[in-house]
């Protein structure tokens, strides 16, 4: 058990809809990362937060947004969903968000857009 | 375009065989990590290497960071069915906080 909790585990929704994925980091970790994993793209970095502030941005679409709250949990909002957004979405946390601080991953949310 | 390329992409071997997985890049990294991911779960950290030429051992797994810190290898001795999974390397630079994940190697060890 990594200590990182993601909900829900599975999500099935229709194109055009909006969903929110939630992540609670490991106790003591201040930084949260979001990744998208699909069969053809591998594990793609979306965005990173540290102690409530955005720290780094990757290949995140404009239709996607995220935030980290004062209690350090994070939410990833996906809107105007398309079929191609179907993927596994992982949250990871680390102690200080630095390059030498390992990532601890949750078990992901599997999103299916129909 | 992936910053880190792994080879082979797929590997299927018999129990007891040895294998090596490679992680290559043209970029220099300040740290490199190896993760194993099993179906339905998130990646789990195996090791972190930070010094060029560094070698770390974890039971039957040996990890090496290239001298120039651009590449790494994972060697498994006497593979077991429990080693089956997706192996991912991830590099990070001290100029940023992003971890760049490799393309992954899917290993199947047949009993």
CATH of residue B50's domain is 2.60.40.10
Q: Which domain holds residue B87?
A: 5-110
Confidence of residue A92 (pLDDT cuts 50, 70, 90): very high
Per the structure, the count of domains in chain B is: 1
Does pLDDT of B51 surpass 70?
A: yes
Query: pLDDT tens for residues B71-111?
Result: 999 999 999 999 999 999 999 887 766 788 998 999 999 99
Residue in B with minimal Cα distance to A47: B98
Helix or strand run (H / E) with residue B7? strand B5-7
Residues B91 and B32 sit within 8 Å (Cβ to Cβ) = yes
Using only C-alpha atoms, chain A has a radius of gyration, in whole angstroms, of 13
Mean predicted confidence (pLDDT) in B26-47: 93
Q: Is A45 in Cβ contact with B99 (below 8 Å)?
A: yes
- Cβ burial of B97 (10 Å; 0-12, 13-18, 19+) is buried
Q: Which residues of B touch A58 (CB under 8 A)?
A: 98
Q: Which residue among B33, B42, B101 sits closest to A42, beta carbon to beta carbon?
A: B101
Rounded to whole angstroms, how far apart are CA atoms B65 and A31? Answer: 26
Q: Is B97 in Cβ contact with A102 (below 8 Å)?
A: no
Residues in B 5-64 with any Cβ partner in A closer than 8 A: 30-31, 33, 35, 40-45, 48, 50
Which residues lie closer than 8 Å to B106 by C-beta, 6 or more apart? B9, B10, B11, B85, B86, B87
Q: Where are the strands (E) in chain B, listed by range? A: 5-7, 10-14, 19-24, 31-37, 44-49, 55-58, 61-65, 71-76, 85-92, 99-101, 105-110
Residues B73 and B81 sit within 8 Å (Cβ to Cβ) = no
- In DSSP terms, A32 is beta-bridged to A49, A93
Residue A3 φ/ψ region, left for φ over 0, alpha for ψ in the -120 to 50 degree band, beta for the rest: left
Q: Is B102 in Cβ contact with A105 (below 8 Å)?
A: no
Q: Which residues of A touch B103 (CB under 8 A)?
A: 42
- Count the residues in chain B: 111
At B93 the pLDDT is 84
* Percent of chain B's residues with pLDDT above 70: 96
Residues A65 and A74 sit within 8 Å (Cβ to Cβ) = no
- How many CB pairs below 8 A link A and B? 68
Mean pLDDT of chain A: 94
Residue A99 φ/ψ region, left for φ over 0, alpha for ψ in the -120 to 50 degree band, beta for the rest: alpha
Residues A113 and A85 sit within 8 Å (Cβ to Cβ) = yes
Q: Is A33 in Cβ contact with B2 (below 8 Å)?
A: no
């Amino acid at each position: 058990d990594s200590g990182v909790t993601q909900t829900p585990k599975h999500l099935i929704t229709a194109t055009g809809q909006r969903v929110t994925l939630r992540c609670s980091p490991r106790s003591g970790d201040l930084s949260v990362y979001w990744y998208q994993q699909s069969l053809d793209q591998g594990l793609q970095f979306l965005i990173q937060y540290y102690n409530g502030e955005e720290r780094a941005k990757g290949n995140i679409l404009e239709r996607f947004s995220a935030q980290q709250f004062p209690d350090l949990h994070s939410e990833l909002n996906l809107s105007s969903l398309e079929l191609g957004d179907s993927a596994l979405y992982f949250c990871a946390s680390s102690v200080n968000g630095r390059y030498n601080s390992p990532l601890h991953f949750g078990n992901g949310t599997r999103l299916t857009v129909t | 375009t992936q910053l880190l390329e792994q080879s082979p992409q797929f590997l299927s071997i018999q129990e007891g065989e040895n294998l090596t997985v490679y992680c290559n890049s043209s970029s220099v990294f300040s740290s490199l990590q190896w993760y194993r991911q099993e179906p339905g779960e998130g990646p789990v950290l195996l090791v972190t290497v930070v010094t060029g030429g560094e070698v770390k051992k974890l039971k039957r797994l040996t990890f090496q960071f290239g001298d120039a810190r651009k590449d790494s290898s994972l060697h498994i001795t006497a593979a077991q069915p429990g080693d089956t999974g997706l192996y991912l390397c991830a590099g990070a630079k001290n100029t940023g906080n992003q971890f760049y994940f490799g393309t992954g190697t899917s290993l199947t060890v047949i009993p």
